[in-house]
Structure 1
């Protein structure tokens, strides 16, 4: 199983617009969130208008320029290359429950409408297994027939992950996403769960999108399935290539995007030959505002494929403060230079 070539992280030079063209169509927004997620209550994003549509550049502030370059490649693909032809027009999605107290679970779930699958955040810093158990149990009580998956974002060590997943398995888990930080740990957790007869599949997220070689996890036999996100992997086409080479079932998820970013996630889910799991693309429901009045949110457990056109009045209403706009435009300049250098012959 050959690794993707290092330069596949950058778009071909022919598809990288000049910096002035990107800046001319750039809008920086700051959207309030309904609940804290990843420790933030405001989601900032830089939107780019291209000839074929809108792209979203929103790597989290702590990400370095090299990692952020893949997010810009994805935004350029959306606006300047467009998406592959879809194989389906409706994408099943899961609800997402942040690390809220168990008593708030019904309130969070109510925003998603009908739900067939739920992703529950666990292993939150400052919380313990009792908090996780109560939250997952509250989801199961509210939705007796739903598929439940948990996401630890690498927050446990191997013994802690095995202990936690053994306990949480009592409510019935579809899979556990990134229970530990590293690939060797994922393989060990998977081995120990199997040896103990605990029926929880292991999914890799960060071990795919943050690795220099996203196929390492598949070669190591460290996961039963992979979670793929368009922006961190450098675009829809690169994500499709990774899934094909990995040879594992894939779940398409988002990175807390506006509807512009969710549109790219839907394009990936629509183009996959197989889509065995509900996708984590319903996260616009966690935002208290969006850049379009026709948000890409679930309806009857799915999102229909459609294009997104941000509304000028919403771009103006939620425009980031001048100092944050300058911060994002400076970041765009740096990351564009990195991509141009990588794409040069």
Structure 2
């Protein structure tokens, strides 16, 4: 569906939300919200992404705001806690923001940190969640193949559920998967899905056991669902540090997938210091609800981006909208 640019701009609100904890190198999260015919929707590609990549995120925003959603198969989604690359001493405080979560995704391979820092963080999480908790680590493609193999060996005694995007390329993922297969630790692909020209290439190459699926980067709920169906691999639905509006998009995607074996990365509103709704999609008993979010006008005003940032984002909306028109 094509929505005129004037319709998008008529309700566009640009917000700048403080982070409760520094994450992905940022202290504030910016986003554009639109009120569509079906409800509020979100456009929030990270600022470093070019217009071509960001245009897919705009397609997702239009899809969620103006199109019908697929039927829900479940009313709640189990979510994981997300642990930034913090010192081990900060782990307990962050886990407290994710009540009831039985799974923790731990960021590793942070630039400027050592494997010893990652290992201490993983060990502290295991200590706090006990032997029955689930641990997954996410390197965001930050290791070489040799570094990945070394790190996976270092973490193995902490009983990993899987390792997400240990290396940047599909060939590297395949090599790591071959090297650690005897250990029984699955490899998950994220960037090799959402940033790829062909999001199914990693599955066809046999380079991953699990796919991490995100609604915004893949163009919306319907397109993400088609990728899940065609890939034929288990999936984890995750977010990109969205507001609760974007998390609602992800929750509806997760709710529509026939088989969902893993806890999803949709609890990240807990990492925000503020949100755009009085009823944010925060984890409760390890789950979030599958629902549309009612946006608060007062919070939109309170966390409105300044004039320069608003102009920057609205210009970005216009450019990416033109790209969508060209490819329609």
Structure 2 length as normaliser, TM-score?
A: 0.99
Alpha-carbon distance, 1:199 to partner? 2.3
- CA contact under 8 A between 1:156 and 1:179: conserved in structure 2? yes
Tell me the secondary structure at the aligned position of residue 174 of structure 1: strand
Match of 1:310 in 2: 295
Instruction: Give the alignment's Cα RMSD to 1 decimal.
Output: 0.6
Q: Deviations over 1:42-68 (max 9, x none)?
A: 000000111111110000011011100
* Distance (Å, rounded) in 2 between the aligned partners of 1:211 and 1:300: 35
Asked if structure 1 preserves the Cα contact closer than 8 Å seen for 2:140 and 2:166, the reply is: yes
User: 2:220 pairs with 204, 210, 235, which one?
Assistant: 235
Unaligned runs of 5+ in 2: none
Question: 1:217 maps to which residue?
Answer: 202
Give the conservation status (yes or no) of the 8 Å contact 2:239–2:265: yes
For residues 194-205 of structure 1, what are the structure 2 equivalents within 5 Å?
194=181, 197-205=182-190
Contact conserved, 2:60 with 2:220, CA < 8 A, in 1? yes
Note if contact 2:162-2:186 (Cα within 8 Å) is conserved in structure 1: yes
Are residue 81 (structure 1) and residue 76 (structure 2) matched?
no
Q: Does 1:150 align with 2:106?
A: no
Deviations 1:247-295 (A, max 9, x none): 1000000000000000000001000000000000000000000000100
Number of residue pairs matched by the alignment: 327
In the alignment, the residues of structure 1 paired with residue 122 and residue 33 of structure 2 have an alpha-carbon distance, to the nearest angstrom, of 35
1:21 maps to what in 2?
A: 7
**Of 126, 139, 145, the match for 2:112:** 126
Write the distance in 1 (CA, Å) between the matches of 2:263 and 2:96.
18
Residue in 2 that maps onto 1:5: none
1:336 to 315, 321, 325: 321
Deviations 1:96-125 (A, max 9, x none): 000000000000000111121010000000
**Misfit runs of 4+, over 3 Å:** none
CA contact (8 A) 1:169 1:199 kept: no
Q: In 2, distance between residues paired with 1:42 and 1:321? A: 13
TM-score normalized with structure 1 length: 0.94
